[in-house]
Chain A
Amino acid sequence: MIVTAAAVDPAHLAAFSGAVVDPATAAGIDLTGCRIAVVVTGSQAVDLVPSLVGRAALVKVFQRDAGWVVPEVPLVGQVRHVPCLAALVGRAHLRYRIRDPEQRRQLTPRRGRVLAPRSSNAFYRAIEADNCQLISWPIARITAHGVVTADGIEHWVDTIVPA
Protein backbone atom coordinates (compact mmCIF):
# COMPACT_ATOMS: atom_id res chain seq x y z
CA MET A 1 0.00 0.00 0.00
CA ILE A 2 1.30 3.44 -0.81
CA VAL A 3 0.18 6.26 1.42
CA THR A 4 1.46 9.78 1.83
CA ALA A 5 1.76 11.63 5.11
CA ALA A 6 -1.13 13.93 5.95
CA ALA A 7 -0.79 17.17 4.03
CA VAL A 8 0.17 20.24 6.00
CA ASP A 9 -3.03 22.03 6.89
CA PRO A 10 -3.06 25.51 5.27
CA ALA A 11 -4.84 26.82 8.38
CA HIS A 12 -1.84 25.81 10.47
CA LEU A 13 0.59 27.40 8.03
CA ALA A 14 -1.29 30.69 8.45
CA ALA A 15 0.32 31.05 11.90
CA PHE A 16 3.79 31.17 10.32
CA SER A 17 5.22 34.68 9.94
CA GLY A 18 7.88 33.74 7.36
CA ALA A 19 7.55 32.75 3.70
CA VAL A 20 5.66 29.65 2.58
CA VAL A 21 7.11 28.58 -0.76
CA ASP A 22 5.38 26.29 -3.20
CA PRO A 23 7.81 23.47 -4.14
CA ALA A 24 7.06 24.01 -7.82
CA THR A 25 8.36 27.59 -7.67
CA ALA A 26 11.20 27.02 -5.18
CA ALA A 27 13.77 26.66 -7.98
CA GLY A 28 13.12 30.22 -9.19
CA ILE A 29 13.35 31.91 -5.77
CA ASP A 30 16.56 33.21 -4.22
CA LEU A 31 16.89 31.20 -1.01
CA THR A 32 20.54 31.97 -0.39
CA GLY A 33 21.29 32.12 3.33
CA CYS A 34 17.77 31.07 4.33
CA ARG A 35 16.83 28.62 7.10
CA ILE A 36 14.32 26.35 5.41
CA ALA A 37 11.92 23.73 6.77
CA VAL A 38 10.92 21.14 4.18
CA VAL A 39 7.76 19.52 5.50
CA VAL A 40 7.62 16.27 3.61
CA THR A 41 4.13 15.19 2.65
CA GLY A 42 5.02 13.20 -0.47
CA SER A 43 8.00 11.96 -2.42
CA GLN A 44 8.74 15.35 -4.08
CA ALA A 45 11.28 16.03 -1.33
CA VAL A 46 13.68 13.61 -3.00
CA ASP A 47 14.11 16.05 -5.90
CA LEU A 48 13.70 19.24 -3.89
CA VAL A 49 16.04 18.74 -0.91
CA PRO A 50 19.31 18.45 -2.92
CA SER A 51 18.62 21.71 -4.75
CA LEU A 52 17.79 23.54 -1.49
CA VAL A 53 20.81 22.19 0.40
CA GLY A 54 23.08 23.67 -2.27
CA ARG A 55 21.64 27.18 -1.75
CA ALA A 56 20.28 27.60 1.77
CA ALA A 57 22.16 28.19 5.03
CA LEU A 58 20.24 25.38 6.74
CA VAL A 59 17.63 22.88 5.56
CA LYS A 60 15.55 20.97 8.12
CA VAL A 61 13.75 18.05 6.54
CA PHE A 62 10.68 17.03 8.56
CA GLN A 63 10.01 13.56 7.27
CA ARG A 64 7.80 11.13 9.18
CA ASP A 65 7.33 8.66 6.36
CA ALA A 66 9.92 7.52 3.90
CA GLY A 67 10.02 5.84 0.51
CA TRP A 68 12.72 3.76 -1.11
CA VAL A 69 15.21 5.79 -3.12
CA VAL A 70 17.01 3.81 -5.82
CA PRO A 71 20.15 5.03 -7.64
CA GLU A 72 19.57 7.02 -10.79
CA VAL A 73 21.44 4.70 -13.11
CA PRO A 74 20.09 3.57 -16.51
CA LEU A 75 17.94 0.44 -16.06
CA VAL A 76 18.56 0.28 -12.28
CA GLY A 77 16.49 3.45 -11.84
CA GLN A 78 13.56 1.69 -13.47
CA VAL A 79 13.24 -0.83 -10.64
CA ARG A 80 11.33 1.83 -8.74
CA HIS A 81 8.28 0.72 -10.70
CA VAL A 82 8.51 -2.81 -9.24
CA PRO A 83 7.81 -2.56 -5.47
CA CYS A 84 9.72 -5.65 -4.28
CA LEU A 85 12.77 -4.79 -6.40
CA ALA A 86 12.57 -1.15 -5.33
CA ALA A 87 12.72 -2.29 -1.70
CA LEU A 88 15.69 -4.58 -2.38
CA VAL A 89 17.73 -2.04 -4.36
CA GLY A 90 16.57 0.86 -2.17
CA ARG A 91 17.73 -0.89 1.00
CA ALA A 92 21.17 -1.59 -0.50
CA HIS A 93 21.41 2.02 -1.74
CA LEU A 94 20.50 3.34 1.71
CA ARG A 95 23.05 1.07 3.41
CA TYR A 96 25.78 2.16 0.99
CA ARG A 97 25.06 5.90 1.09
CA ILE A 98 24.08 6.66 4.70
CA ARG A 99 26.69 5.92 7.35
CA ASP A 100 24.68 6.72 10.47
CA PRO A 101 22.44 3.80 11.63
CA GLU A 102 19.90 6.18 13.17
CA GLN A 103 19.53 8.14 9.91
CA ARG A 104 19.15 4.84 8.07
CA ARG A 105 16.34 3.91 10.48
CA GLN A 106 14.67 7.27 9.85
CA LEU A 107 14.93 6.82 6.09
CA THR A 108 13.65 3.23 6.05
CA PRO A 109 9.99 2.98 5.00
CA ARG A 110 7.70 1.53 7.67
CA ARG A 111 5.03 -1.06 7.18
CA GLY A 112 1.84 0.57 5.87
CA ARG A 113 3.39 4.04 5.61
CA VAL A 114 5.49 3.96 2.47
CA LEU A 115 5.96 6.88 0.11
CA ALA A 116 6.24 6.17 -3.62
CA PRO A 117 9.74 4.94 -4.63
CA ARG A 118 11.94 7.50 -6.42
CA SER A 119 15.30 7.44 -8.12
CA SER A 120 18.01 9.91 -7.11
CA ASN A 121 21.76 10.00 -6.60
CA ALA A 122 21.70 13.32 -4.82
CA PHE A 123 19.07 12.89 -2.06
CA TYR A 124 21.10 10.85 0.43
CA ARG A 125 24.20 12.99 -0.22
CA ALA A 126 22.11 16.08 0.58
CA ILE A 127 20.74 14.49 3.77
CA GLU A 128 24.31 13.90 4.96
CA ALA A 129 25.39 17.49 4.20
CA ASP A 130 26.52 19.64 7.15
CA ASN A 131 23.73 22.17 6.56
CA CYS A 132 20.94 19.57 6.44
CA GLN A 133 19.07 18.00 9.38
CA LEU A 134 16.65 15.10 9.10
CA ILE A 135 13.87 15.27 11.71
CA SER A 136 11.37 12.45 12.01
CA TRP A 137 9.44 13.55 15.14
CA PRO A 138 5.73 14.23 14.54
CA ILE A 139 4.91 17.89 13.98
CA ALA A 140 2.89 19.25 16.92
CA ARG A 141 2.16 22.72 15.50
CA ILE A 142 3.38 25.50 13.25
CA THR A 143 4.15 28.77 15.05
CA ALA A 144 5.09 32.26 13.91
CA HIS A 145 8.78 31.29 14.16
CA GLY A 146 8.75 27.82 12.73
CA VAL A 147 7.85 24.22 13.47
CA VAL A 148 7.28 22.67 16.90
CA THR A 149 7.90 18.94 17.02
CA ALA A 150 6.44 16.54 19.58
CA ASP A 151 9.81 16.20 21.33
CA GLY A 152 9.10 19.72 22.63
CA ILE A 153 11.55 21.66 20.47
CA GLU A 154 10.67 24.68 18.32
CA HIS A 155 12.68 24.76 15.10
CA TRP A 156 13.22 28.35 14.01
CA VAL A 157 13.14 28.83 10.25
CA ASP A 158 12.35 31.70 7.90
CA THR A 159 10.88 29.64 5.05
CA ILE A 160 8.62 26.61 4.93
CA VAL A 161 8.33 24.42 1.85
CA PRO A 162 5.55 21.81 2.07
CA ALA A 163 6.72 19.14 -0.34
Chain B
Amino acid sequence: MAIVLEDMLTRIQERQWALGDFDWQASGANRIRPDQREHLKEFMADLVWIEHVGARGFAALADKADDPVLGEIYRWFHAEEQRHANAELALMRRWGMIDGDDIPEANTNIRLVIEWLDSSAHTLPLGVLTTVIALLEVALDGALVTFLLDEVDDPLCHEVFARINADESRHLAVDFHVMELMGMRPQVREALVQLATLVRPQVLVGLLVYLPLLSRMRDNIVRMGLNEQRLYQAVRRFDEVGSRSHHTRRYRPYQLARWHARMVVNRRHPYHLLADTLVSLTGRIPQRALGPLPSWVRSLTSEPTA
Protein backbone atom coordinates (compact mmCIF):
# COMPACT_ATOMS: atom_id res chain seq x y z
CA MET B 1 0.00 0.00 0.00
CA ALA B 2 3.03 2.25 0.42
CA ILE B 3 3.18 4.93 -2.26
CA VAL B 4 5.68 7.66 -3.09
CA LEU B 5 3.79 10.89 -2.54
CA GLU B 6 5.94 12.91 -4.98
CA ASP B 7 5.16 10.41 -7.77
CA MET B 8 1.49 10.46 -6.86
CA LEU B 9 1.42 14.26 -7.04
CA THR B 10 2.98 14.18 -10.51
CA ARG B 11 0.48 11.54 -11.65
CA ILE B 12 -2.41 13.64 -10.33
CA GLN B 13 -1.16 16.73 -12.16
CA GLU B 14 -0.66 14.81 -15.40
CA ARG B 15 -4.14 13.28 -15.39
CA GLN B 16 -6.24 16.38 -15.11
CA TRP B 17 -9.41 16.69 -17.16
CA ALA B 18 -12.01 19.39 -17.55
CA LEU B 19 -15.74 19.66 -18.22
CA GLY B 20 -14.86 21.08 -21.63
CA ASP B 21 -13.30 17.72 -22.63
CA PHE B 22 -16.82 16.26 -23.05
CA ASP B 23 -19.49 17.02 -25.63
CA TRP B 24 -22.46 17.71 -23.38
CA GLN B 25 -24.76 17.97 -26.42
CA ALA B 26 -23.84 14.48 -27.71
CA SER B 27 -26.71 12.09 -28.37
CA GLY B 28 -27.83 9.73 -25.61
CA ALA B 29 -29.43 12.16 -23.17
CA ASN B 30 -32.88 10.82 -24.15
CA ARG B 31 -31.96 7.34 -22.95
CA ILE B 32 -33.11 8.31 -19.46
CA ARG B 33 -36.43 6.54 -19.03
CA PRO B 34 -39.36 8.67 -17.81
CA ASP B 35 -39.97 6.24 -14.94
CA GLN B 36 -36.43 6.64 -13.58
CA ARG B 37 -36.18 10.43 -13.98
CA GLU B 38 -37.54 11.47 -10.56
CA HIS B 39 -35.50 8.96 -8.54
CA LEU B 40 -32.41 9.65 -10.62
CA LYS B 41 -32.74 13.37 -9.97
CA GLU B 42 -32.75 12.76 -6.19
CA PHE B 43 -29.87 10.31 -6.50
CA MET B 44 -27.75 12.74 -8.55
CA ALA B 45 -28.53 15.61 -6.18
CA ASP B 46 -27.27 13.52 -3.24
CA LEU B 47 -24.19 12.56 -5.24
CA VAL B 48 -23.39 16.20 -6.10
CA TRP B 49 -23.65 17.22 -2.46
CA ILE B 50 -21.59 14.29 -1.19
CA GLU B 51 -18.81 15.21 -3.65
CA HIS B 52 -19.04 18.85 -2.62
CA VAL B 53 -18.91 17.98 1.07
CA GLY B 54 -16.00 15.60 0.34
CA ALA B 55 -14.21 18.48 -1.36
CA ARG B 56 -14.53 20.48 1.82
CA GLY B 57 -13.16 17.56 3.81
CA PHE B 58 -10.05 17.54 1.62
CA ALA B 59 -9.69 21.31 2.12
CA ALA B 60 -9.56 20.67 5.88
CA LEU B 61 -7.00 17.88 5.34
CA ALA B 62 -4.83 20.18 3.20
CA ASP B 63 -4.59 22.61 6.10
CA LYS B 64 -3.78 19.82 8.56
CA ALA B 65 -1.10 17.87 6.67
CA ASP B 66 2.40 18.33 8.11
CA ASP B 67 4.01 16.89 4.99
CA PRO B 68 4.00 19.67 2.34
CA VAL B 69 3.64 17.14 -0.53
CA LEU B 70 0.65 15.51 1.15
CA GLY B 71 -0.81 18.97 1.75
CA GLU B 72 -0.38 19.75 -1.95
CA ILE B 73 -2.02 16.43 -2.93
CA TYR B 74 -5.00 17.24 -0.73
CA ARG B 75 -5.28 20.67 -2.37
CA TRP B 76 -5.59 18.93 -5.76
CA PHE B 77 -8.07 16.43 -4.33
CA HIS B 78 -10.14 19.32 -2.98
CA ALA B 79 -10.37 20.71 -6.53
CA GLU B 80 -10.97 17.27 -8.05
CA GLU B 81 -13.96 16.57 -5.80
CA GLN B 82 -15.33 19.96 -6.81
CA ARG B 83 -14.81 18.95 -10.46
CA HIS B 84 -16.78 15.74 -9.85
CA ALA B 85 -19.65 17.74 -8.35
CA ASN B 86 -19.51 20.15 -11.32
CA ALA B 87 -19.51 17.28 -13.84
CA GLU B 88 -22.46 15.60 -12.09
CA LEU B 89 -24.32 18.92 -12.16
CA ALA B 90 -23.59 19.13 -15.90
CA LEU B 91 -25.09 15.64 -16.34
CA MET B 92 -28.19 16.73 -14.43
CA ARG B 93 -28.47 19.74 -16.70
CA ARG B 94 -28.02 17.54 -19.79
CA TRP B 95 -30.88 15.33 -18.59
CA GLY B 96 -33.12 18.36 -18.03
CA MET B 97 -33.14 17.98 -14.24
CA ILE B 98 -31.85 21.49 -13.54
CA ASP B 99 -31.87 24.75 -15.52
CA GLY B 100 -28.91 27.03 -16.18
CA ASP B 101 -26.70 27.43 -13.15
CA ASP B 102 -29.30 26.03 -10.73
CA ILE B 103 -28.06 23.88 -7.85
CA PRO B 104 -30.27 21.11 -6.45
CA GLU B 105 -31.58 21.73 -2.97
CA ALA B 106 -29.61 20.14 -0.14
CA ASN B 107 -31.57 18.10 2.40
CA THR B 108 -31.45 19.00 6.10
CA ASN B 109 -28.77 16.40 6.90
CA ILE B 110 -26.49 17.70 4.16
CA ARG B 111 -27.08 21.26 5.38
CA LEU B 112 -26.09 20.25 8.91
CA VAL B 113 -22.90 18.59 7.65
CA ILE B 114 -22.05 21.69 5.61
CA GLU B 115 -22.50 23.89 8.67
CA TRP B 116 -20.41 21.54 10.79
CA LEU B 117 -17.63 21.33 8.18
CA ASP B 118 -17.59 25.09 7.90
CA SER B 119 -17.18 25.63 11.61
CA SER B 120 -15.54 22.54 13.08
CA ALA B 121 -13.80 20.32 10.49
CA HIS B 122 -10.44 21.51 11.85
CA THR B 123 -11.15 19.85 15.21
CA LEU B 124 -10.77 16.33 13.75
CA PRO B 125 -7.27 14.83 13.58
CA LEU B 126 -5.95 14.16 10.06
CA GLY B 127 -6.15 10.36 10.36
CA VAL B 128 -9.76 10.35 11.57
CA LEU B 129 -10.93 12.67 8.79
CA THR B 130 -9.03 10.58 6.23
CA THR B 131 -10.69 7.38 7.48
CA VAL B 132 -14.18 8.85 7.21
CA ILE B 133 -13.47 10.18 3.70
CA ALA B 134 -12.01 6.81 2.61
CA LEU B 135 -15.12 4.98 3.79
CA LEU B 136 -17.42 7.38 1.96
CA GLU B 137 -15.33 7.07 -1.20
CA VAL B 138 -15.39 3.28 -1.11
CA ALA B 139 -19.19 3.43 -0.76
CA LEU B 140 -19.41 6.00 -3.55
CA ASP B 141 -17.11 4.11 -5.87
CA GLY B 142 -18.17 0.56 -5.05
CA ALA B 143 -21.90 0.91 -4.61
CA LEU B 144 -23.42 4.18 -5.75
CA VAL B 145 -21.55 4.74 -9.00
CA THR B 146 -21.73 1.07 -10.03
CA PHE B 147 -25.49 1.21 -9.41
CA LEU B 148 -25.80 4.41 -11.43
CA LEU B 149 -23.90 2.96 -14.39
CA ASP B 150 -26.09 -0.16 -14.35
CA GLU B 151 -29.23 1.96 -14.39
CA VAL B 152 -28.28 4.71 -16.85
CA ASP B 153 -27.77 3.96 -20.51
CA ASP B 154 -26.39 7.37 -21.55
CA PRO B 155 -22.86 6.78 -22.98
CA LEU B 156 -21.68 10.22 -21.86
CA CYS B 157 -22.56 9.34 -18.26
CA HIS B 158 -20.27 6.29 -18.54
CA GLU B 159 -17.45 8.39 -20.03
CA VAL B 160 -17.69 10.98 -17.26
CA PHE B 161 -17.75 8.40 -14.47
CA ALA B 162 -14.79 6.54 -15.95
CA ARG B 163 -12.77 9.75 -15.35
CA ILE B 164 -14.31 10.29 -11.92
CA ASN B 165 -13.52 6.69 -10.89
CA ALA B 166 -9.91 7.03 -12.02
CA ASP B 167 -9.59 10.11 -9.77
CA GLU B 168 -11.29 8.32 -6.88
CA SER B 169 -8.91 5.37 -7.08
CA ARG B 170 -5.98 7.79 -6.58
CA HIS B 171 -7.81 9.40 -3.66
CA LEU B 172 -8.29 5.98 -2.08
CA ALA B 173 -4.64 5.02 -2.60
CA VAL B 174 -3.57 8.16 -0.70
CA ASP B 175 -6.26 7.70 2.00
CA PHE B 176 -5.11 4.13 2.74
CA HIS B 177 -1.47 5.22 2.63
CA VAL B 178 -2.18 7.85 5.28
CA MET B 179 -4.10 5.34 7.43
CA GLU B 180 -1.13 2.99 7.18
CA LEU B 181 1.25 5.75 8.28
CA MET B 182 -1.05 6.54 11.19
CA GLY B 183 -1.08 2.86 12.15
CA MET B 184 2.73 2.93 12.38
CA ARG B 185 2.65 5.49 15.18
CA PRO B 186 2.74 4.33 18.84
CA GLN B 187 -0.87 3.31 19.30
CA VAL B 188 -1.13 4.04 23.03
CA ARG B 189 -0.27 7.70 22.45
CA GLU B 190 -2.58 7.78 19.43
CA ALA B 191 -5.40 6.27 21.47
CA LEU B 192 -5.05 9.05 24.05
CA VAL B 193 -5.15 11.69 21.30
CA GLN B 194 -8.23 10.05 19.79
CA LEU B 195 -9.94 9.87 23.17
CA ALA B 196 -9.19 13.54 23.81
CA THR B 197 -10.65 14.31 20.37
CA LEU B 198 -13.78 12.31 20.98
CA VAL B 199 -14.77 14.24 24.09
CA ARG B 200 -14.59 17.60 22.32
CA PRO B 201 -18.12 19.06 22.00
CA GLN B 202 -17.58 19.88 18.29
CA VAL B 203 -16.70 16.26 17.57
CA LEU B 204 -19.73 14.94 19.45
CA VAL B 205 -21.93 17.35 17.47
CA GLY B 206 -20.15 16.13 14.32
CA LEU B 207 -21.12 12.55 15.16
CA LEU B 208 -24.76 13.56 15.68
CA VAL B 209 -24.67 15.19 12.25
CA TYR B 210 -22.78 12.41 10.43
CA LEU B 211 -24.76 9.39 11.70
CA PRO B 212 -28.21 10.45 10.42
CA LEU B 213 -26.73 11.65 7.12
CA LEU B 214 -25.30 8.22 6.42
CA SER B 215 -28.52 6.45 7.42
CA ARG B 216 -30.72 8.77 5.39
CA MET B 217 -28.56 8.31 2.31
CA ARG B 218 -28.48 4.55 2.78
CA ASP B 219 -32.27 4.37 2.92
CA ASN B 220 -32.68 6.81 -0.01
CA ILE B 221 -30.53 4.75 -2.34
CA VAL B 222 -32.03 1.42 -1.31
CA ARG B 223 -35.46 2.93 -1.99
CA MET B 224 -34.23 3.83 -5.47
CA GLY B 225 -33.52 0.18 -6.16
CA LEU B 226 -29.90 -0.32 -5.07
CA ASN B 227 -29.35 -3.92 -4.08
CA GLU B 228 -28.25 -4.00 -0.42
CA GLN B 229 -25.68 -6.59 -1.43
CA ARG B 230 -23.77 -3.79 -3.17
CA LEU B 231 -23.39 -1.96 0.13
CA TYR B 232 -22.10 -5.12 1.81
CA GLN B 233 -19.60 -5.52 -1.02
CA ALA B 234 -18.41 -1.93 -0.58
CA VAL B 235 -17.83 -2.43 3.14
CA ARG B 236 -16.09 -5.73 2.41
CA ARG B 237 -13.79 -3.88 0.03
CA PHE B 238 -12.96 -1.30 2.72
CA ASP B 239 -12.21 -4.25 5.00
CA GLU B 240 -10.09 -6.10 2.41
CA VAL B 241 -7.99 -3.12 1.32
CA GLY B 242 -7.35 -2.07 4.91
CA SER B 243 -6.50 -5.61 5.97
CA ARG B 244 -3.63 -5.80 3.48
CA SER B 245 -1.55 -3.73 5.86
CA HIS B 246 -0.87 -4.77 9.43
CA HIS B 247 -0.49 -1.09 10.36
CA THR B 248 -3.84 -0.03 8.91
CA ARG B 249 -5.54 -2.97 10.63
CA ARG B 250 -4.34 -1.83 14.03
CA TYR B 251 -5.34 1.81 13.49
CA ARG B 252 -8.32 2.37 15.79
CA PRO B 253 -10.28 4.93 13.73
CA TYR B 254 -10.12 2.44 10.82
CA GLN B 255 -11.43 -0.34 13.09
CA LEU B 256 -14.21 1.94 14.34
CA ALA B 257 -15.18 3.06 10.83
CA ARG B 258 -15.33 -0.57 9.67
CA TRP B 259 -17.45 -1.60 12.65
CA HIS B 260 -19.79 1.33 12.11
CA ALA B 261 -20.08 0.65 8.37
CA ARG B 262 -21.04 -2.98 9.06
CA MET B 263 -23.87 -1.78 11.29
CA VAL B 264 -25.06 0.81 8.76
CA VAL B 265 -25.39 -1.68 5.91
CA ASN B 266 -27.21 -4.21 8.09
CA ARG B 267 -30.76 -2.81 8.34
CA ARG B 268 -31.68 -5.36 11.05
CA HIS B 269 -28.97 -4.13 13.43
CA PRO B 270 -30.29 -2.42 16.62
CA TYR B 271 -27.98 0.50 15.80
CA HIS B 272 -30.71 1.73 13.45
CA LEU B 273 -32.98 2.50 16.40
CA LEU B 274 -30.55 5.28 17.33
CA ALA B 275 -29.85 6.32 13.73
CA ASP B 276 -33.55 6.44 12.80
CA THR B 277 -34.30 8.56 15.84
CA LEU B 278 -31.59 10.99 14.80
CA VAL B 279 -32.93 11.08 11.21
CA SER B 280 -36.40 11.79 12.55
CA LEU B 281 -35.18 14.50 14.93
CA THR B 282 -33.02 16.25 12.31
CA GLY B 283 -35.94 16.05 9.86
CA ARG B 284 -37.93 18.30 12.20
CA ILE B 285 -35.39 21.12 12.06
CA PRO B 286 -37.02 23.91 10.01
CA GLN B 287 -34.99 25.10 6.98
CA ARG B 288 -35.05 28.69 8.24
CA ALA B 289 -33.25 27.60 11.42
CA LEU B 290 -30.26 26.50 9.34
CA GLY B 291 -29.34 29.98 8.11
CA PRO B 292 -27.86 30.77 4.70
CA LEU B 293 -25.52 28.37 2.90
CA PRO B 294 -21.86 29.35 3.16
CA SER B 295 -20.49 31.26 0.18
CA TRP B 296 -18.21 28.37 -0.96
CA VAL B 297 -21.33 26.57 -2.16
CA ARG B 298 -21.69 29.25 -4.86
CA SER B 299 -18.54 27.90 -6.54
CA LEU B 300 -20.54 24.91 -7.86
CA THR B 301 -21.30 25.23 -11.56
CA SER B 302 -22.38 23.09 -14.49
CA GLU B 303 -20.86 25.52 -17.03
CA PRO B 304 -17.62 24.17 -18.56
CA THR B 305 -16.39 27.74 -19.20
CA ALA B 306 -16.45 30.90 -17.14
Enumerate chain A interface residues (CB-CB to B < 8 A). 64, 100-103, 110-113, 137-138, 140-141, 145, 148-156
B18 close to A152 (CB less than 8 A): yes
8 Å CB contact of A153 from B71, B80, B295, B304:
B304
A138 close to B76 (CB less than 8 A): yes
Size band of the interface chain B makes with A: 20 to 34
Q: Which residue of chain B lies nearest to A133 when distances are taken between CB atoms in the complex? A: B306
Is B301 in the interface zone, CB < 8 Å from A?
yes
Is B299 in the interface zone, CB < 8 Å from A?
yes
8 Å CB contact of B295 from A64, A102, A141:
A102
What's the Cα separation between A162 and B110 when bound, in Å?
Answer: 39
Give the shortest distance, in Å, between A133 (CB) and chain B (any CB): 8
A137 close to B79 (CB less than 8 A): yes
Pairs A-B, 9 closest by C-beta atoms: A150-B79, A152-B83, A140-B16, A151-B82, A102-B295, A152-B19, A102-B296, A137-B79, A152-B18
* A154-B304, A154-B305, A156-B305 given; A148·B20 CB < 8 A: yes
B281-306: CB near A (< 8 Å → 1, else 0) gives 00000000000001110010101111
28 chain-A/chain-B pairs, Cβ below 8 angstroms: A64-B75, A102-B295, A102-B296, A110-B63, A110-B71, A112-B68, A113-B68, A137-B82, A138-B75, A138-B79, A140-B13, A145-B305, A148-B18, A148-B20, A149-B79, A150-B80, A151-B80, A151-B83, A152-B87, A153-B18, A153-B86, A153-B303, A153-B305, A153-B306, A154-B19, A154-B20, A154-B304, A155-B305
8 Å CB contact of B16 from A64, A100, A112, A141:
A141
* A110-B63, A112-B68, A156-B306 given; A151·B295 CB < 8 A: no
